[in-house]
Structure 1
């Protein structure tokens, strides 16, 4: 009995982390639908700043209620870098890039992000790169390519748009890798809240544009901006940080390959955009690759479930 109960906390933690990652992926997928609406009436910088301000207010309120306080000094370097690269730079670059290229091209270019995360994580954090993770990423990337090609419009893509999406992917990868060490010193809520604040401060030069756009925007576009701040930022980034603190950056990056598949489904349900066979096949590949990348070999599961030496002595 002692052995079984001792193994439960590890299994429970793994399930909670998987659940948190699932929440993040679903909310990030829904963000593409909202950005498509709000982005037609808000400029890239204004949309990024508005979303960050809403998220900062929500997260700050939760921190006050929970009395989280300031993160320790050891966490600030990672928080500052992730706030600048991911919360700030990534948001503006992606919003701008999606105004220059079609959604398929943008999704295809940005999806090199998980590959960059795996490479940076292995180089800077010492993350392992087991064969199943590499195989799953290869399958998911093939699916992302299929989805991107199927969703691409007939017109040519802007070179500027492709470069902006590429820069967004680099910012995303750098932000994730910088955030991982910070989670060893501060709580997921602290890391997310203060990363969001750093990003908002970095985007303050867009304040005038935000005021101008908000005055002319429709209620629907503004509600989409609020949704992006509350759910796809405040909630989704917190659940991401919670899951990232309990697994490797490479594995979490691979999980985001489920986003294109969910975007296809949500666009079908919310916008009436019926996907073609290539889109559906690409989405299925994305999900299959995520399943492979997050799976473990039978021997690894046995090792994880086995009691530690201390537990064995106690049960004896």
Structure 2
């Protein structure tokens, strides 16, 4: 990996890691549906000029069903679950639990393709990852437990959407798919956002957090991810999975004053170690 590619990887990880921080700030005054709808709408608007400059969105009509499914499973539902969770738990903890998504992908892939059965080190990795998730979720109580379970739901949504996308949209432009699914996600969350629209104008800090979440954490992040895949390949781009939780923990500690507990660090080590073992080369190829 060249220095430029490494810089892209670190920049993308830093941006996606900051998304948990901005979600936490956004839900201080706004309902989760409002934060999600704003994020998706702004993200789609950021990507739209890039797509138009590259020849438009001619392929969208042919993939209406896939982008509708992905808009729900990869954007609207998991983004809402994550935002809801961060009304109850720390942003860093949410990032660590969400890092288990690749482990869920491995397990769900077995149902789709039995040849991908898990044995040996991969089986040990799955077990290790689930120990990490169980440790973090099991330590929560009351409202915090509900928040932790919501993040597990987020990870499951991402796992299902990855497997679905691998079969349904291989031949389509990633940029077109991204704009389509972000737009669908915004439409799906719009009714709830309008119903829960705040009676008073939120503070500049909260409005800024939602805007940055949409522009940087969604629109720009997608562009960086595509650029990294083109330059370094998917096997290198997937390394972002391992870096995002660490950035999120640091942001939460430095900016929000969240405690970095030994249990969070232990859970992070178990989940990322389990992910490395459970996925091996298959995650890189995927």
Task: Give TM class, smaller chain.
Answer: 0.7 to 0.9
1: CA distance, partners of 2:262 / 2:85: 27
**TM-score (normalizing by structure 2):** 0.75
Rg (Cα) greater in structure: 1
Q: 1:206 to 1:283 in 2, by over 3 A?
A: same
1: CA distance, partners of 2:229 / 2:259: 34
1:221 paired with 2:209, answer no
How big is the alpha-carbon RMSD for the aligned residues of Structure 1 and Structure 2? Answer: 4.0
The secondary structure found in structure 1 opposite 2:214 is: helix
The one of 27, 33, 36 equivalent to 1:39 is 27
Q: Which residue matches 2:68?
A: 80
Q: Which residue matches 1:64?
A: 52
Q: 1:29 to 1:142 in 2, by over 3 A?
A: farther
2: CA distance, partners of 1:128 / 1:201: 36
2: CA distance, partners of 1:112 / 1:229: 24
Q: Which residue matches 2:198?
A: 212
The structural deviation recorded for 1:31 is: 1.0
The one of 181, 184, 188 equivalent to 1:202 is 188
The secondary structure found in structure 2 opposite 1:217 is: coil
The structural deviation recorded for 1:227 is: 1.1
2: CA distance, partners of 1:291 / 1:73: 38
How many residue pairs were aligned? 278
Unaligned runs of 5+ in 1: 1-10, 298-303, 305-316
For the 8 Å contact 2:125–2:278, the answer to whether it is kept is: yes
Q: Which moved more, 1:96-105 or 1:183-192?
A: 96-105
Q: Aligned runs of 1:88-127 on 2, under 5 Å?
A: 88-101=76-89, 106=94, 110-124=98-112
Q: 1:182 to 1:59 in 2, by over 3 A?
A: farther
Q: Which has the higher contact order (CA 8 A, sep 6+)?
A: 2
Task: Give CA deviations for 1:276-312 in whole Å, capped at 9, x if unaligned.
Answer: 4444444445554555567659xxxxxx9xxxxxxxx
